[in-house]
Amino acid sequence: MVEDDGFRALDRQECLALLAEVPVGRVVYTRRALPAVLPVNFSLDEDGSVLLHSSAGSDLVRAIDGAVIAFEADEFHAASRSGWSVVVTGRATVVTDPAEQARLSRTGPVSWMHVRDGVFVRIESEMVTGRELTAVA
């Protein structure tokens, strides 16, 4: 469906396929009652959850563990004024199950940052929305 503003809404499968193509997205959350955003590299789990790798004691992990957050990724091309964006909204939780930790150590993302006492964070893909902008005449 092409909306009034020139965007086409993407379905969940389209959104997850696009998310799988890019290495970096943005965690959107609330910190000290203000909107906050931090880009991170990520991967997708088999069920479509977003997986992050970070330091256990980082401000990010402390701020988002247990909270409902948004995770956004996009890709735009200035020359054609086209592109897409996808937003996953869901609960973020630090993975504590040892078997799950072991699995993600093999298959999960490796942070681009220096990580101390690394933990994996899972963002459930409870709500997945996306839109595609095609060139405007």
Residues forming the site for a second copy (CB under 8 A): 4-7, 23-24, 26, 28-30, 34-39, 41, 55, 58, 68-70, 72, 74, 76, 78, 81, 83, 85, 87, 89, 112-116, 133, 136
Shortest distance (Å) from residue 44 CB to a second copy? 15
Shortest distance (Å) from residue 93 CB to a second copy? 16
CA separation for the pair 1, 109 (Å, rounded): 34
Shortest distance (Å) from residue 6 CB to a second copy? 4
Query: Which residue, 76 or 102, is less far from a second copy as judged by CB?
Result: 76
Query: Which residue, 102 or 135, is less far from a second copy as judged by CB?
Result: 135
Query: Which residue, 104 or 123, is less far from a second copy as judged by CB?
Result: 123
Shortest distance (Å) from residue 98 CB to a second copy? 25
Query: Which residue, 14 or 100, is less far from a second copy as judged by CB?
Result: 14
Q: For every residue of the chain, which 3-state class applies, written as one string? A: CECCCCEEEECHHHHHHHHCCCCEEEEEEEECCEEEEEEEECEECCCCCEEEEEECCCHHHHHHCCCEEEEEEEEEECCCCEEEEEEEEEEEEECCCHHHHHHHHHHCCCCCCCCCCEEEEEECCCEEEEEEECCCC
